[in-house]
Amino acid sequence: MIRRITRAVVASVVLTTTVLAGVSTPASAAAVAMTLSKTYGTSGAGGTLIGSVPPTAVAPFPAGSATPIVQFQFVGTATTGCSLKAQTRTAIAGPGVNTTAGVLTADTTKVKRITSWKIVFTVPTAAYPGDAFNTSGLVLTGTQSQARWYVCVYDTESTTTSTLLATSVYTITLRPTITSISPASSPAAGGQAITVNGTGFSPVTTPITASIGGAALTNIRVASNGNSFTATTGVRAADTGLALSVVAPGGTVSSLDPDNNPLTPTTYPFAYTNGITISPATGVTGALVTVSVTGAGFSGLIFDPAAVATSSDPHVFLVDGAYDPATNRGVAECTVGIVVSDTELICDLDLSATQLSPTTSAPTSGVVPDGAYIMTVVANGDPGAAGLAEPSIISSGAAFVVAPY
């Protein structure tokens, strides 16, 4: 008598039985839940799996010269697991085309019985869900989609007399690709929300991970169809041409090789800008204001509070518009007293001191007038350093307002 086991997932099947070491599974034995050495793999990648059951269970795999038959049967929305008898490939999704079902038999020459409780076999490499079948079960066209399959082990390949020995679940996954990144830049301080479009992002057993130029993305949320995810950028020093790398169940993909084909010229580079944010962002005319500046890459800058404004030392300037080392250097300097970390520094802006000439940095008459300015960090204050060090890029977070109140 064959017992039919109904379950939400195959892995929940548990069979308690008497140990019959060295004895082939009798025809009346129920199928045993099998553990796989890996529960998912990339579409078409094949690979070798080891299937094992607890030695405390009835030894399910036939001894002697008998070779178990391993079939991959598409799960779809089914909840009853493997068919009790071995199956042939089927086409069941409407007349002429099937994109969601099928049965694949592992190469029998590569199925080996290691012990009565363990077998090794290869994963079929063709005709997974997403392929289209005709009514005869022949592959037509289609694109692989992520799907769960039951792994069903039988004593023979007969569709009428075979016995189901062991069962498990295996997920076929897409190799990930990237088709766009929006936006494709982030301030050095991070915190930028981005959307990555592509394929193969659906998690299987663990969530996907991603990084840009080594800086990990956080708050990753994958769309239900696995074709996009949103994330938040981390802190990183400014740079361009960076790779956004995604580690998914189906493998790793880089935005500099977005389809995992180095011969394809399309790339999606990412940039970190030198944008900064400041707090407070206002100061009273004639007062001294201590400002916290956040960004990235500050630990590599050595500030000299005694250095003149035109020295090759790093500086923080209050600029009327866009910084230009030769013509618009700033109207005041915020003297850096503390570099708190790579992402924060503290400077003192004296709005009671005589303002500086934007072209020479020499003191001129009067204090800094009321108005809106841009606080700008430069790695080199030399007037000839235009091509040697980029200033922080203007951003809303760097706007500083001088007012009479």
Closest to 361 in 3D by CA, of 385, 335, 391, 381: 381
CATH of 277-403, one of 2.60.40, 3.40.50, 1.25.40, 2.40.50: 2.60.40
Question: CB of 200 within 8 A of CB of 250?
Answer: yes
Closest to 273 in 3D by CA, of 235, 326, 310: 235
With bands split at pLDDT 50, 70 and 90, how would you rate the model's confidence at 92?
very low
**pLDDT over 70 percentage in the chain:** 79
pLDDT of residue 37: 94
- Residue 21 predicted with pLDDT over 50: no
Domain 177-273 indexed as CATH 2.60.40.10: yes
pLDDT of residue 177: 92
∠ CA 262-263-269, nearest 5°, is 55
Residue of higher predicted confidence among 202 and 95: 202
- Residue 252 predicted with pLDDT over 60: yes
∠ CA 50-52-58, nearest 5°, is 150
What is the rounded CA–CA span in Å between residue 26 and residue 48?
28
With bands split at pLDDT 50, 70 and 90, how would you rate the model's confidence at 189?
confident
pLDDT of residue 245: 97
Range name among 15-29, 65-79, 161-175 with the lowest pLDDT average? 15-29
pLDDT of residue 293: 92
Reduce the secondary structure of the chain to three states and give it as a string: CCCCCCCCCHHHCCCCCCCCCCCCCCCCCCCEECEECCCEEECCCCCEEEEECCCCCCCCCCCCCCCCEEEEEECCCCCCCCCCCCCCCCCCCCCCCCCCCCEEECCHHHCEEEECCEEEEECCCCCCECEEECCCCCEEEECCCCEEEEEEEECCCCCCCCCEEEEEEEEEECCCEEEEEECCEEECCCCCEEEEEEECCCCCCCCCEEEECCEECEEEEECCCCCEEEEECCCCCCEEEECEEEEECCEEEECCECCCCCCCCCCCCEEEECCCEEECCEEECCCEEEEEEECCCHHHCCCCCCCCCCCCCCEEEEECCCCECCCECCCEEEEEEEEEECCEEEEEEECCCEEECCCCCCEEEEECCCEEEEEEEECCCCCCCCCCCCCCCCCHHHEEEEECC
- Residue 8 predicted with pLDDT over 60: no
> What's the mean pLDDT in 218-239?
91
> How distant, in Å, are the alpha carbons of 99, 147, 148, 368, 400 from that of 76?
10, 7, 7, 70, 58
> How distant, in Å, are the alpha carbons of 292, 339, 340, 342 from that of 289?
10, 17, 17, 22
pLDDT of residue 275: 78
Range name among 16-20, 81-85, 326-330 with the lowest pLDDT average? 16-20
pLDDT of residue 391: 64
- Residue 90 predicted with pLDDT over 70: no
- Residue 137 predicted with pLDDT over 50: no
pLDDT of residue 78: 57
Residue of higher predicted confidence among 142 and 151: 151
Residue of higher predicted confidence among 216 and 91: 216
Decide: residue 152, CB within 10 A, 0-12 exposed, 13-18 middle, 19+ buried: buried
- Residue 226 predicted with pLDDT over 90: no
pLDDT of residue 256: 96
pLDDT of residue 333: 96
Instruction: Return mean pLDDT, the chain.
Output: 80
With bands split at pLDDT 50, 70 and 90, how would you rate the model's confidence at 204?
confident
> What's the mean pLDDT in 87-92?
60
Closest to 392 in 3D by CA, of 373, 380, 375: 375
pLDDT of residue 336: 95
Give the amino acid at 356. L
In the structure encoding, which two tokens stand for residue 302, read together? 């050595």
Residue of higher predicted confidence among 96 and 15: 96
pLDDT of residue 269: 96
Range name among 145-159, 264-278, 383-397 with the lowest pLDDT average? 383-397
- Residue 138 predicted with pLDDT over 60: no
Domain ranges of the chain: 10-173, 177-273, 277-403
- Residue 234 predicted with pLDDT over 80: yes
> What's the mean pLDDT in 365-391?
81
Same fold yes or no, 177-273 and 277-403: yes
Range name among 71-85, 184-198, 219-233, 236-250 with the lowest pLDDT average? 71-85
- Residue 40 predicted with pLDDT over 80: yes
